[in-house]
Amino acid sequence: MTSATIAGPRDYLQAQMRWRWGEIAFWLATLLPFIVTPDYLLLASQVAIAALFVLSLDLILGFAGIVSLGHAAYFGVGAYTAGLISKWGWGEPLTGLLIAALAAGVFGYLTSFIVARFRHLPLIMITLGIGLLLQEAANSASWLTGGFDGLQGIHTWPIAGRFRFDLYGYTAYGYALAALFVIFLGARRLIHSPFGLALRGIRDNSQRMRAIGASTHSHIRTIYTIAAMIAGIAGAILAQSTETVSLEVLGFQRSADVLVMLILGGTGRLYGGLLGAIVYMVARDQFSGLNPQYWYFWIGLLLIGVVVVLPNGLLGGLALLTGRSKAAS
């Protein structure tokens, strides 16, 4: 008994970060599209890219409580950077990805100084402003970005000189999934670190954070930069796998979509965003096949339904169910 209480605090924390069976099953299931639905690999790659993008938003919104309506800015910087490098003659995807991450990270770091100073409604307006500014800048700099016509002439070299980006999306999905998994591992590590705890502290009560001597601004700058890099990587993968970049990558619609996916799935749980991305992208694919003009109607209905019935998103609802069944047994 005494030994149990002495070992208590660390054991409990250790148990918190242990891999669960559900997680392993989830990641094994991500391989299923290769076998079960090979016709949908292009969609699967889009889902993986969206999931990566949502993951980056979850790190700032779900963990640090930074609401953003302009997160596409960093996605777009990554996409254009990767596209431009390729257009200028360097089509190697992995280095392209790194440079895109760096560019988005630098932009994220610069903007984080403004972002860290605000919260709530002003913050939403500021992130919205950053997104709009960047889209207009990209539009007017058509000599660089191709403007409204999009960036043409991207050619992505085969990964490691072997895996060509094929029409069916085998390489695209494999590439996006690998990036998602590696970055997810990093994000999972981050949320179980002292820094991850500090982010949850900021989300819960930033005034108290200052009262325990925390520099909340520097924490926010760090996570905002990391999230911007991840968003940039997601954008870069889109540019590299589709070999085109349009202004839409910077659009408000994309910022709104990613927020919807995260809220749909559940914030602050990492997997919530992934689930949200899957449900949203698949639903969009199905609904737009069903009713091409009005598919946002169904998305709207889904969003309202989920938020009303499951305030913590789909994953929150699942956790509630499993929690109840555990309590019952």
Partner 1 sequence: MSESALAARGINKRFGSLVVAADVDLTLPPGARYALIGPNGAGKTTLINLMTGMLRPDAGQILLGGEDVTALAAEDRVRRGLARTFQINSLFPHLTALESVILAVCERRRVAQAWWRRLIAYREEIDEAHQILGALMLDAVCHRPARELAYGQQRLLEIALALASRPKVLLLDEPAAGVPRDESNELFAAIAGLSRDITVLFIEHDMELVFRFAARVIVMVGGSILLEGTPAEIAADPQVRAVYLGKTPRGLRNG
Q: Which of residues 270-289 bind partner 1 (CB under 8 A)?
A: none
Of the residues 182, 197, 290, 304, which one makes contact with partner 1 according to CB under 8 A: 197
Residue with Cβ nearer partner 1 (177 or 220): 220
89 lies in the site for partner 1, by CB under 8 A: no
Q: Cβ neighbours of residue 131 under 8 Å, at least 6 residues apart? A: 69, 70, 71, 72, 73, 250, 252, 255
109 lies in the site for partner 1, by CB under 8 A: no
Residue type, 324: R
Dist CA 150 CA 132 (whole Å): 17
At closest approach, how far in Å is the CB of 283 from partner 1? 30
Residue with Cβ nearer partner 1 (135 or 267): 267
Of the residues 102, 190, 302, 319, which one makes contact with partner 1 according to CB under 8 A: 190
Q: Cβ neighbours of residue 249 under 8 Å, at least 6 residues apart? A: 72, 75, 76, 79, 80, 235, 238, 239
At closest approach, how far in Å is the CB of 117 from partner 1? 13
119 lies in the site for partner 1, by CB under 8 A: no
Residue with Cβ nearer partner 1 (62 or 93): 62
47 lies in the site for partner 1, by CB under 8 A: no
14 lies in the site for partner 1, by CB under 8 A: yes
The stretch near partner 1 (CB under 8 A) out of 11-19, 35-43, 116-124, 248-256 is: 11-19
182 lies in the site for partner 1, by CB under 8 A: no
Residue with Cβ nearer partner 1 (5 or 293): 5
Residue with Cβ nearer partner 1 (9 or 89): 9
Residue window 203-232: x/- pattern of binding to partner 1, with contact defined by CB under 8 A: xxx-xxxxxxxxxx-xx--x---x------
Dist CA 266 CA 307 (whole Å): 10
* Binding residues vs partner 1 (CB under 8 A): 5, 8-10, 12-14, 17, 189-190, 192-198, 200-201, 203-205, 207-216, 218-219, 222, 226
